[in-house]
Amino acid sequence: MDLIAALEDIVPQLADGLERATRPEELEALRVDVLGRKGRIARIMSCLPELEPGARPAVGQTANSVKERCNELFEARKAVLEAAREAEALRRFDPSMPGRAPWRGSLHPTTLVTEEICRVFQGLGFDVASGPEAETDHYNFASLNMPPEHPARDMQDTLYITDSVLMRTHTSPVQVRAMLASRPPLAVIAPGKVYRRDSDLTHTPMFHQIEGLLVGDGVSMAHLRGTLTAFVHAVFGAETRVRFRPSFFPFTEPSAEADISCCICGGQGQIDGTGCRVCKGTGWVEILGCGMVDPAVFEAVGYPADVSGFAFGMGVERVAMLKYGIGDLRMFFENDTRFLGQFGA
């Protein structure tokens, strides 16, 4: 058999095969078939020892030349196929297709309202303070005039971690921490999460409060009323009315609760003849607890007996519900973007 002719035959046959190949796997199969260790060229070369020694160099040279030409054919075909793939990708890319607008996040209404309230009080000269969410019994209760056996410590309401460490049930412990950290006069506002063992339509185990405390010389209930009225007007609008009702908190004396005229019905108690659901027809809604700091609290932090001060605490979700007319507390915790996206940035 003529080995040289057999070798030369490979080139046009490969050219044919490559012409029909379109996928990279097909190219690779052809390459193995021709140039592989057990491919056609290798098989032909394995017959070399049977030739006369004098005839061998010519066959070897032909084999090298055939290999070279085969490689060139592969490279050429590969380049053609790659160019075709790129052209196809470009053909599928439609530059006139409208772009997809990126998702844009927005601040949670709880965050928005917290920031707004803090801004108002900062404008009145208050500093922003914070304290730990896991508190000791001492800061959450004892120093706030709630000694052991006080009903507010009841396991029913408080999430205890150990006998003396608990999840704070209000932001009032920050009052105590702020007073221990400086001397009067001081004015602080303290936003944060609070926890209670409570979960139904209108209560969640975690919610947000903002605490306020102002201590100085001759601070009176009039200052408390003036400050809180300024806050209500700034957040709910100047037409909103404020009223104070007597109440009780262990850490303030006297204590009060502040109501504002209902922003849903404009304080009318009804909308088009039907009773307003938000204020239950009364025209007023409660928004915070407040009072003059109890002397027992000043004593707990070692303040002189002649200082006076006021304190208040409000629920952030409650303020947000009234401000935006949100009817369901659960909305704040479900993270439905259709709800959250309505509050802008």
Q: Is 145 in the site for ligand PHE (CB under 6 A)?
A: no
Q: Please, how many CA atoms are within 13 Å of residue 228, restricted to the half-sphere of its CB?
A: 31
Q: Is 114 in the site for ligand PHE (CB under 6 A)?
A: no
Stretch that binds ligand PHE, among 34-42, 61-69, 89-97, 306-314 (CB under 6 A): 306-314
Q: Name the minimum Å distance from CB 153 to ligand PHE.
A: 14
Are the C-beta atoms of residues 219 and 308 closer than 8 Å to each other? Answer: yes
Three-state SS letters, 3-53: HHHHHHHHHHHHHHHHHHCCCHHHHHHHHHHHHCCCCHHHHHHCCHHHCCH
CA distance between the termini of the chain: 85
Nearer to ligand PHE, 249 or 332 (CB): 249
Dihedrals phi, psi of 315, to nearest 5 degrees: -90, 125
Q: Is 139 in the site for ligand PHE (CB under 6 A)?
A: no
Q: Name the minimum Å distance from CB 171 to ligand PHE.
A: 7
* Other C-beta atoms lying within 10 Å of the C-beta of residue 120: 18
- In the chain the beta strands, taken as DSSP E runs, fall at 127-128, 134-136, 165-167, 186-195, 206-216, 242-249, 252-261, 270-271, 274-275, 284-293, 308-315
Interatomic CA distance for residues 35 and 224, integer angstroms: 94
Q: Name the minimum Å distance from CB 100 to ligand PHE.
A: 46
> How far are the Cα atoms of 10, 38, 154, 254, 308 from residue 48, in angstroms, in the given order?
17, 15, 100, 114, 112
Are the C-beta atoms of residues 176 and 140 closer than 8 Å to each other? Answer: no
Q: Is 141 in the site for ligand PHE (CB under 6 A)?
A: no
Q: Name the minimum Å distance from CB 98 to ligand PHE.
A: 52
In one letter, which amino acid is 17? G
Given the DSSP bridges, would you call strands 284-293 and 274-275 parallel, antiparallel or unpaired? unpaired
Residue in 117, 289, 308, 317 binding ligand PHE, rule: CB under 6 A: 289
* Other C-beta atoms lying within 10 Å of the C-beta of residue 57: 9
Q: Is 249 in the site for ligand PHE (CB under 6 A)?
A: yes
Q: Is 311 in the site for ligand PHE (CB under 6 A)?
A: yes
Contact code string over 26-65 relative to ligand PHE, x by CB under 6 A: ----------------------------------------
Residue in 290, 297, 316, 322 binding ligand PHE, rule: CB under 6 A: 290
Q: Is 236 in the site for ligand PHE (CB under 6 A)?
A: no
Nearer to ligand PHE, 263 or 311 (CB): 311
Contact code string over 174-213 relative to ligand PHE, x by CB under 6 A: -------------------------------------x--
Instruction: From 137, 185, 177, 125, select the one nearest 161 (Cα to Cα).
Output: 137
Residue in 188, 313, 322, 329 binding ligand PHE, rule: CB under 6 A: 313
Q: Is 170 in the site for ligand PHE (CB under 6 A)?
A: yes
Stretch that binds ligand PHE, among 32-40, 54-62, 231-239, 309-317 (CB under 6 A): 309-317
Q: Name the minimum Å distance from CB 315 to ligand PHE.
A: 8
Q: Is 308 in the site for ligand PHE (CB under 6 A)?
A: no
Binding site for ligand PHE (CB under 6 A): 170, 172, 211, 249, 252, 289-291, 311-313
